[in-house]
Structures are given as C-alpha cells and as structure tokens.
Amino acid sequence: MAVSTKTGSAAKVFPQAAIEARLRSDLLKAVAAEAFIKGISLPTGASAQSGTAIQIDSLVAVSLLVAVEPRLGFKLQDSVVKSGGYTSVNHAISELMPRIEQAWDKRVGNGVKK
C-alpha cells in the first residue's frame, strides 16, 4: 500500500501502471518489428513475447521514452536507459521502471513512496 510522504495538499502518485503499460506496449511493437526484419518467429501472446530473448538496442529504448514523458510531465534523460540495451522486454521493464521512478522522485519530489 502506498503511503504519502507529503502532508497538506494532495501528493502526486507515480503513475507506475500507466508508464509500464505504455513502455511494454511500445517495446513489444519494437521487438515485433526487429523480429520481422531478422526473420525471427515470436511466440503468440504478449506475456510469452515479453520473455522472449531478443536484443533491444539502447537507442531503441531511448526513443521509446518520449512516449511516457507527457504522462510524467517532464523529459527523461537518456541516462535512464542502460548502455548496451536489454535482452528481452521483461529485462527492459525491470531495469527501466526503477530508473524512471527514481527520476520522478527527484523531479516531482513529493511522490508517494511504496
């Protein structure tokens, strides 16, 4: 359960579910395009595709950050993305979400802590 660290006016809550859903959707689209280009057959279903081992370039990940910035209300730094990329959608999500939340906490400063 989330606990607000700010008293008085309503604290802003990190939009974790919305950010993760958008990133996952965009990452799956990028993986599908990459698989098509390389002639790789992906399993059916988002869950299976998310766990499939396929390289996601860090530049691709950086380009996808733009999609979540309007929801966050600020521009993310490229350094949120790990140099060298990721080995699956699940790997990307597990690495990106804590970094995005950390950027949120620094920027917004009054977020709700888990």
Can you give the CATH number for the domain in which 51 is found? 1.10.1200
Residues with Cβ < 8 Å from 1, sequence gap 6 or more? none
Give domain status of residue 113, yes or no.
no
Res 108: pLDDT: 86
Give domain status of residue 81, yes or no.
yes
**7: pLDDT strictly greater than 50:** no
Give domain status of residue 49, yes or no.
yes
Give domain status of residue 27, yes or no.
yes
Give domain status of residue 42, yes or no.
yes
What pLDDT, in 10s, does the model give residues 26-66? 999 999 999 999 999 999 999 999 999 999 999 999 999 99
Three-state DSSP class for residue 90:
helix
Task: Look at the chain and report how many structural domains it folds into.
Answer: 1
Where in the sequence is the domain holding 50, given as residue range(s)?
16-108
What pLDDT, in 10s, does the model give residues 66-107? 999 999 999 999 999 999 999 999 999 999 999 999 999 998
Give domain status of residue 10, yes or no.
no
